[in-house]
């Protein structure tokens, strides 16, 4: 994988004691309209039927590597705990490029005032809502409660890329 963010995240995972081997990545046809996913027991899934460019793949893999990094570092991360899940989704949306200006324009989302934060909350909420333990108001509450702390937490990056 040649993408700089993907290489960076793989290096940081290895430094944290969680080496990422080629078997960690799985390409699948996905039923849900998602670009990928992280399964703690298996690794990262890339959905071949929903990603159309190398840039799409790089963003999805970076997003999922942030989840894998969170899982590696936080030994007590519980994906069924809505706050834990929300925090990782907020971090992934913030740090992966999901909410870059270009990405938002391509989605038809354009706003001047705090568009980046609005995007991060929207994308985190979409993802947390997919967790059967965290739907509806539970997901909304978790994203709102976790947002300020988790949006600012940029590790392993020095700052939001």
Residues forming the active site: 64
The answer to whether the CB of 96 falls within 8 A of the CB of 115 is: no
Burial class (CB in 10 A: 0-12, 13-18, 19+), 138: middle
- Cα–Cα distances (Å) from 9 to 16, 73, 78, in that order, read 10, 13, 21
- Residues 28 and 68: their CA atoms lie apart, in Å, by 18
């Amino acid at each position: 994988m040649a993408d700089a963010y993907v290489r960076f995240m793989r290096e940081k995972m290895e430094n944290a004691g969680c080496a990422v081997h080629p078997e960690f990545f799985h390409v699948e046809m996905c039923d849900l309209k998602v670009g990928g996913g992280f399964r703690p027991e298996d690794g990262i899934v890339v959905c071949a039927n929903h990603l159309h460019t190398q840039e799409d793949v790089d963003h999805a893999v970076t997003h999922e590597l942030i989840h894998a990094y969170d899982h590696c570092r936080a030994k007590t991360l519980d994906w069924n705990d809505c706050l834990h899940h929300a925090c990782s989704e907020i971090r992934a949306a913030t740090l992966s490029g999901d909410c870059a200006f270009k990405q938002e324009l391509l989605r038809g989302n354009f706003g001047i005032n705090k568009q980046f934060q609005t995007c991060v909350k929207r994308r985190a909420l979409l993802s947390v809502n997919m967790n059967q333990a965290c739907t509806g108001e539970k997901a909304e509450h978790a994203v709102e409660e976790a947002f300020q702390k988790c949006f600012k937490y940029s590790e392993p990056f020095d700052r939001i890329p």
